[in-house]
Amino acid sequence: MAPAEGVTGPDVPGEPESRPGGIPLYLWVIGAVALAIPAGLAWGDGATRLNLLPSLIIRALGALAAPLVVLAILSAIVSNDIRGRQGALMMVYYVINTFVAMAIGLLLTNLIRPGVGAELIDLAHPPAPPPKKAVTDLLVELIPRSVGDAFAQNNLAQLVLLTLALAIGLVKIRNEQQARGETTYRAAIDLLNLGFELLMRVLLWVVALVPLAVFGVVASSVGQKEGLEVFRSLIWLIAVVLVGL
């Protein structure tokens, strides 16, 4: 996938942005868990106040998700010359990556079986299944009522479809202007790249705060009556995640 003529891609911030003090993020997470367990045991029910930390960070990640997806797709498609053999190879690459990720997840889940023994619902009063939707309803839901509605609901399917349409339109404009020797399209592409780089930098700042969210969740869970029972029920799930990484 070669860059389009006269176009440069976004300068994505490096991993150090999300490595506080130069220490890998996973070590911060492990340290947060190690500190949260005694903190939760010592504070008891009062530790539930720490739920504010993960709530704030999850809100921040949710706020960044939709615009980041839109700018990432627009920037990637418009900044590169995706056509013919290169476009086909890119699609094959993404399909293989997706297949391998799914295979690893299914293999580990079936080998370790983390959900065995968990009681997630009241079997005497199971929740009602959601109503089935016709294929036509699903197709209609892919089209947002408005651009603002797609962003407000964080509907990624609608956003991806809308973004692909915009990206194809921008590529057409870019190619037509290049054929005429014009360069006004570069300002739009530079703005997209700048927006993507800005959101990525902010995202890495938020990711650097994830250990605080982990500390809050763990301390709050341990401080409640269940105590360490929470971790006994989740230990195999945690093992699957760590092995998969």
pLDDT grade for 47, boundaries at 50, 70 and 90: confident
Least confident of 21-25, 45-49, 193-197: 21-25
| DSSP classification of residue 216 | H
66's tokens: 């939709």
Percentage, residues of the chain above pLDDT 90? 12
Structure tokens at 182: 């014009």
Select from 88, 91, 82, 93 the least CA-distant residue to 7.
82
What dihedral angle (degrees, nearest 10) is formed by the CA atoms of 14, 194, 192, 85? -40
pLDDT of 76-134, one tens digit each?
888 877 666 766 777 787 778 878 888 888 888 788 776 666 555 556 666 777 777 77
Q: Does domain 22-119+149-244 have CATH number 1.10.3860.10?
A: yes
Q: pLDDT tens-digit profile of 161-194?
A: 889 889 889 989 998 998 998 888 889 889 999 9
- pTM, rounded to two decimals: 0.70
- End-to-end CA, the chain: 27
